[in-house]
Chain A
Amino acid sequence: MSAVHLLSELSVGTEAEIRGFHPDCKEVKRLREMGLLPGTKVKLIRWAPLGDPLEIKIRGYNLSLRKHEAEHVEVIVAAPS
């Protein structure tokens, strides 16, 4: 079983797989070009000290984006088997 979440809802240290983007996401193109594509593994590393932005690890590098953008990214979290 797996569940669909938003990237912003992941807890720190969780790994997930990208499912797609919300139609409202204005930065789809840039995010895709930075490697956020359906099926790509992503891990939430941390939130910034003031609670925004957040840092993720994807394709072996670290990327930061704000909660506002992360709310537009849908991810699938594999349930622990």
Chain B
Amino acid sequence: MSTWATAPTQEKTLTFVLVGNPNCGKSTLFNALTGMRQKVGNYPGVTVEKKVGEFFSLHGQPMQIIDLPGAYSLSPRSPDEAITRDVLLGRLGDMTRPDRIVCVVDASNLERNLFLVTQILDLGVPTMLALNMIDLAQSKGISIDAAALSQELGIPVVACQAHKKIGVTELRQAMSKERLPHPVRRWRLQPEMEKAVNELSARLAEERGEEPSRLFAEALIILVGEKSGNDSELSPPVRQLAQGLRRELEEQGLDCHEAIVASRYQYAQEVCERVVRTGPVGEEDPSDKLDAVLTHPIWGWTIFLGLMSLMFFAIFTLATYPMDWVDGGFGALANAVKKAMPAGDLRDLITDGVIAGVGGVLVFLPQILILFFFIGLLEDTGYMARAAFIMDRIMSRVGLHGKSFIPLLSSYACAIPGIMATRTIENPKDRLVTILVAPLMSCSARLPVYTLMIATLLPAKTVPALQKAGIMMALYVVGTAIAFFFAWLFKKTIMHSETPVLIMELPPYRRPSLRAVAMQMIHRSKLFVKRAGTVILGLSILLWFLAAYPKIDGADASSQLAQSFAGKAGHAIEPLIKPLGFDWKIGIGLIGSFAAREVFVSTMSVVYNVEATDDTSVPLREAMLQEKWPDGSPVFTPLVCVTLMVFYVLAMQCISTVVVVRRETNSWRWPLFQIAYMTGTAYLACLLVYQGGKMLGL
């Protein structure tokens, strides 16, 4: 980047950053500006998502824009907010200060949004204000004079509705201007405070050879004693001066933090008085009317449960059609390859390794898409915060935050998007606990196993569907209860910390934009495919290899598998799993499904040499029921079926999750711990169930 600094301005790609409070429509605006020209990565060393997009100025010049995490203040309370602060101050690794800032505010809530704006303007970087959600403000009876606001703040102000793409061209126009004013601080502190901050910024300026006015913002941060990116780099004289000034002010009865915040709000209030016009008083806020129902003790729960049921109904029923198409498509593709290529290892690698692997991931895509669609819809309407509001009491019982609810809920579809959704949780310990227990929520990959085992347990056609559904429900309940138990246990022990504070905005409800929701859904799903897909592909190739080698001439599929590496491993672990009632063939299934649970069904089909790989297939069920121990007793007694189900509820059998946890926690320590505690618990629970059941004579 440094080479660009000397290049003439016209040739340099300008870097913009998009800053704003959470819920101000920042990401929608980002999408409206950049369309699909976005890249999602991580900031160095942390797992905060870095969204960079490209767009063109009205003169056709490419410009870069970074969507910074939402922040209420530049004094960070979460890793997300710390990133925003560090990027703005140019303190993050080799990222230079942004050239320009686009500050997004929610017009319906201008006063509080202006608090952050005053902090941004202190930075002295050319800034423009996107006055977003003017439609929402109007519905609340609020109108804002954008020209007057621009006059007050001394920066360009563009009114817009990012959802409907209104005002986006005007914003682009403002962003394309060759010259933009450097903002000047308009708010004032008490005289004593002013004096102290000026003294500190003068000292900083002296030390760094920069303009003192540019260092005002930093001097404020140092004065209140906030930790910042390179705090340790503060020179001893600066640190001493700051401490001395703080003590002096405290002796005069001034709390630095309170004085600064109060002065900013004082200014924000004055600006609002001059530019905001509120409609007739007494008119009730439409959001408050909705909330009276949606957070009502009876209706609130009814609607909440209704919405959740609808979501799961969609995930588990609607998704089956596209899932069948994906399944069928990959099956057809594999068959076509089988016909086109001569038999051999390469063909098997392609059909059983690559195609099966890619298909294994993509088959879950319809469910993931539906899940992300619902989550996006709930977020976009503002309902998500209400869900956290009504669930917080329950979550705080086990030491978690209302915000942990959505990640855990998402994990019923798949733990990966659930774990990715934990990024909104501020406290790292709470986030980690949520990540650790998320895979205990029964995900959709367990369904084929559950279905097969229930069918084996209750083979009679006369068994009422309700009974089967009851068992299925019980499996979900057991998983959830154990997840909550471990969350509680971890919060009491290894992750000991107080129940996280909840200081959460309840944003006004708004009509969702399907376009915005759809885009969000596509972006998140892409991330899922990228993260899960690559690993599953690699592993399914490895598993194929383990099951296909060493080659035995003339053996059928079943005996080939029995003598392969995987089969040998099954024999090897038999002593370990025998106390659970499992034989070596089940052992092969367990090993085969270590990477992904649903593989259990197809592995068992190969083990018992049955053709169909469908979980409802009668042949597989029959074969399993006829399976005998060497002494002639049946392997799949009802007790073994139950034990096996318990194992799949609890064990960590998903390499994609392991890899995502490794990425999200930046170390192998937590995913390995997760495998150990989950699979360990699974083993003990199975031992208890099987041995206990045998003692009871089952």
Chain A residues within CB distance 8 Å of chain B: 26-35, 37-38, 40, 45-46, 48-53, 55, 59-66, 68-69
Per the bound structure, the CA–CA distance linking A62 and B506 in Å amounts to 5
Per the bound structure, the CA–CA distance linking A25 and B402 in Å amounts to 21
Task: Assess whether A34 is in contact with B109, with CB atoms less than 8 Å apart.
Answer: no
9 contacts between A and B (CB under 8 A): A31-B503, A33-B261, A34-B503, A34-B505, A35-B112, A49-B300, A53-B389, A60-B112, A63-B506
Q: Pick the residue among B258, B396, B504 that contacts A32 (CB under 8 A).
A: B258
Assuming the A-B contacts A34-B503, A49-B390, A53-B392, are A61 and B109 also in contact, with contact meaning beta carbons closer than 8 angstroms in the complex?
yes
**Chain B count of residues within 8 A CB distance of the other chain:** 39
Among all A-B residue pairs, the 10 with the closest Cβ atoms: A50-B393, A62-B506, A49-B297, A33-B73, A61-B109, A32-B261, A59-B111, A52-B393, A64-B504, A66-B502
Answer yes or no: B115 CB below 8 A from chain A CBs: yes
Task: Assess whether B287 is in contact with A66, with CB atoms less than 8 Å apart.
Answer: no
Task: Assess whether B392 is in contact with A37, with CB atoms less than 8 Å apart.
Answer: no
Task: Assess whether A65 is in contact with B390, with CB atoms less than 8 Å apart.
Answer: no
Task: Assess whether A30 is in contact with B77, with CB atoms less than 8 Å apart.
Answer: yes
A51 to chain B, nearest CB (A): 7
Q: Pick the residue among B77, B392, B503, B506 that contacts A52 (CB under 8 A).
A: B392
Residue of A nearest to B73 (CB): A33
| Number of A-B pairs, beta carbon distance below 8 Å | 111
Assuming the A-B contacts A29-B75, A63-B506, are A35 and B115 also in contact, with contact meaning beta carbons closer than 8 angstroms in the complex?
yes
Q: Pick the residue among A32, A34, A48, A59 that contacts B389 (CB under 8 A).
A: A48
Task: Assess whether B296 is in contact with A49, with CB atoms less than 8 Å apart.
Answer: yes
Q: Pick the residue among B77, B287, B295 that contacts A49 (CB under 8 A).
A: B295
Answer yes or no: B288 CB below 8 A from chain A CBs: yes
Answer yes or no: B627 CB below 8 A from chain A CBs: no
Answer yes or no: B265 CB below 8 A from chain A CBs: yes
Residue of A nearest to B23 (CB): A61
Per the bound structure, the CA–CA distance linking A50 and B501 in Å amounts to 17
B192 to chain A, nearest CB (A): 18
Answer yes or no: B291 CB below 8 A from chain A CBs: yes
CB neighbors of A among B463-507 (8 A): 501-507
List of A residues within 8 angstroms of B502 by Cβ:
53, 64-66, 69
Per the bound structure, the CA–CA distance linking A51 and B394 in Å amounts to 11
B427 to chain A, nearest CB (A): 12
Answer yes or no: B301 CB below 8 A from chain A CBs: yes
B123 to chain A, nearest CB (A): 17
Answer yes or no: B670 CB below 8 A from chain A CBs: no
Task: Assess whether B111 is in contact with A35, with CB atoms less than 8 Å apart.
Answer: yes
Contact with A along B109-126 (1 / 0, CB 8 A): 101100100000000000
Per the bound structure, the CA–CA distance linking A34 and B81 in Å amounts to 14
Per the bound structure, the CA–CA distance linking A34 and B376 in Å amounts to 25
Q: Pick the residue among A51, A60, A61 that contacts B393 (CB under 8 A).
A: A51
B282 to chain A, nearest CB (A): 14
Task: Assess whether A33 is in contact with B115, with CB atoms less than 8 Å apart.
Answer: yes
Contact with A along B495-525 (1 / 0, CB 8 A): 0000001111111100000000000000000
Task: Assess whether A33 is in contact with B72, with CB atoms less than 8 Å apart.
Answer: yes
Task: Assess whether A66 is in contact with B396, with CB atoms less than 8 Å apart.
Answer: yes
CB neighbors of A among B280-331 (8 A): 287-288, 291-292, 295-297, 300-301
List of B residues within 8 angstroms of A31 by Cβ:
503
Per the bound structure, the CA–CA distance linking A49 and B461 in Å amounts to 44
Task: Assess whether B287 is in contact with A48, with CB atoms less than 8 Å apart.
Answer: no
Task: Assess whether B506 is in contact with A48, with CB atoms less than 8 Å apart.
Answer: no
Assuming the A-B contacts A32-B261, A34-B112, are A62 and B73 also in contact, with contact meaning beta carbons closer than 8 angstroms in the complex?
no
B396 to chain A, nearest CB (A): 7
Task: Assess whether B265 is in contact with A63, with CB atoms less than 8 Å apart.
Answer: no
Q: Known contacts A38-B262, A59-B109; can you find 11 more A-B pairs with CB under 8 A?
A: A29-B257, A30-B77, A35-B115, A37-B258, A45-B291, A53-B392, A53-B502, A60-B111, A61-B112, A64-B503, A64-B505
B535 to chain A, nearest CB (A): 38
Per the bound structure, the CA–CA distance linking A66 and B402 in Å amounts to 11
List of A residues within 8 angstroms of B396 by Cβ:
52, 66
A44 to chain B, nearest CB (A): 13
Task: Assess whether A37 is in contact with B504, with CB atoms less than 8 Å apart.
Answer: no
List of A residues within 8 angstroms of B111 by Cβ:
35, 59-60
Q: Pick the residue among B297, B394, B506, B508 that contacts A55 (CB under 8 A).
A: B506
B71 to chain A, nearest CB (A): 10
Per the bound structure, the CA–CA distance linking A41 and B517 in Å amounts to 36
Assuming the A-B contacts A33-B72, A34-B72, A37-B261, are A46 and B295 also in contact, with contact meaning beta carbons closer than 8 angstroms in the complex?
yes
List of A residues within 8 angstroms of B108 by Cβ:
60
B488 to chain A, nearest CB (A): 17
Task: Assess whether A63 is in contact with B261, with CB atoms less than 8 Å apart.
Answer: no
